[in-house]
Amino acid sequence: MERVAPYDLGGGSVARAFQTLRTELLGPGLHRVDADLLYQDGTTLRVTAPFEVLGSSSDTPTLLVSADARRTDPIPLEGQTLGGDV
């Protein structure tokens, strides 16, 4: 949980040095980052960002797209025809 900057997805506190997210520690495949935003009026909003971790550095990245505003259920963009708001 990140409560203070730097927001590096590594958890911790202000006293801890910035650390990048080490995706090699995640298994290959689709993953997601969830963030729960707490507003001053007490309301909350959960936002989600999917991302893909490849099996090795020699793999070619896959561009994913989701028509959902929350970016859920992304699919590979290759060979797709898109229209409207994406």
Could you tell me if residue 86 is inside a domain? no
Domain that holds residue 67: 28-76
Could you tell me if residue 81 is inside a domain? no
DSSP letter for each residue of 43-59: -EEEEEEEEEE-SSTTS
Confidence of residue 53 (pLDDT cuts 50, 70, 90): confident
Output the average pLDDT for the chain: 77
Confidence (pLDDT) at 27: 83
Could you tell me if residue 18 is inside a domain? no
Q: How many domains does the chain have?
A: 1
Could you tell me if residue 85 is inside a domain? no
Contacts with 26 (C-beta within 8 Å, 6 or more apart), sequence order:
53
| More confident of the two residues 38 and 67 | 38
Could you tell me if residue 83 is inside a domain? no
DSSP state of 10: S
Could you tell me if residue 52 is inside a domain? yes
Could you tell me if residue 11 is inside a domain? no
Confidence (pLDDT) at 28: 86
- C-alpha 44/C-alpha 32 separation (Å) is 19
Could you tell me if residue 44 is inside a domain? yes
Q: Which two tokens stand for residue 72?
A: 């859920």
Contacts with 83 (C-beta within 8 Å, 6 or more apart), sequence order:
none
Confidence (pLDDT) at 4: 66
| Residue 78 in this model has a pLDDT that exceeds 60 | yes
Confidence (pLDDT) at 43: 95
